[in-house]
Amino acid sequence: MSPEQMIQMQDGPEKIFPVSWDMFHRDVRALAWRLAAIGGFSAIVAVTRGGLVPAGIIARELGIRVIETICVASYHEETEREALEVLKPLTETILSRPSEEVLVIDDLVDTGATAKAVREMLPKAHFATVYAKPQGLPMVDTFVTEVSQDTWIYFPWDTGLSFQAPIHKPARGR
């Protein structure tokens, strides 16, 4: 992360994109429709933690019963990036399958660092995310919604109901 990006994150993201449960479920089902058209998947790998919820929905929609996790940490306290760390690697259940039958699911591809690490383990797997940022796009095969790199997505499991200030900030001394 560049020094400018670090300063920006300390001050808060420039743009925010709050996602409700209804919106997230609709977007994940849209992703499932796209993946159903591709087909041929026998197992899902959910990238934790963000990929857990969409992987469950997609597994239901596509009738896939083999679901595995890869536990990767790339954020500290939800906003600060740190070195990528694989906390739980893939199991033999997944590694013994042809990787082209494996569907890797995550909620978001940001810089692409996590996706790159998983792709090195499963080079022919199909990588799908609900949301994608420009830097990470080359690492994703299928996604639903692209957001700008300077947008911070607030997922429904990260938020509660509260007042949201308007985007427009009136000039002082009206």
Which one of the listed residues 11, 22, 27, 106 is annotated catalytic?
A: 106
22 is in an annotated binding site: no
Reported as a single tens digit per residue, the pLDDT across 63-80 is 999 999 999 887 655 555
Average pLDDT score over residue span 131-148: 97
H or E element in which residue 47 lies: strand 43-48
Sign of CA dihedral 99, 30, 52, 60: negative
Mark 5-33 as b/e (b = at least 16 C-beta within 10 Å).
eeeebeeeeeeeeebeeeebeebbeebbe
Residue 117 has pLDDT above 50, yes or no: yes
Residue 1 has pLDDT above 60, yes or no: no
- Residue 11 annotated to the active site: no
pLDDT at 75: 61
> Which architecture characterizes domain 28-155 according to CATH?
3-Layer(aba) Sandwich (3.40)
- Residue 107 annotated to the active site: yes
114 is in an annotated binding site: yes
Which one of the listed residues 11, 27, 110, 141 is annotated catalytic?
A: 110
Please give the radius of gyration of the chain, using alpha carbons only, rounded to the nearest integer.
17
In whole angstroms, give the CA distance from residue 32 to residue 172. 47
Measured between alpha carbons, how far is residue 74 from residues 1, 37, 105 in Å? 12, 31, 16
- Residue 27 annotated to the active site: no
Beta carbons of 157 and 18 less than 8 angstroms apart: no
The predicted model scores a pTM of: 0.82
Closest of 107, 147, 157 to residue 127, by C-alpha: 107
pLDDT at 125: 97
Which one of the listed residues 107, 141, 150, 158 is annotated catalytic?
A: 107
57 is in an annotated binding site: no
Average pLDDT score over residue span 123-130: 97
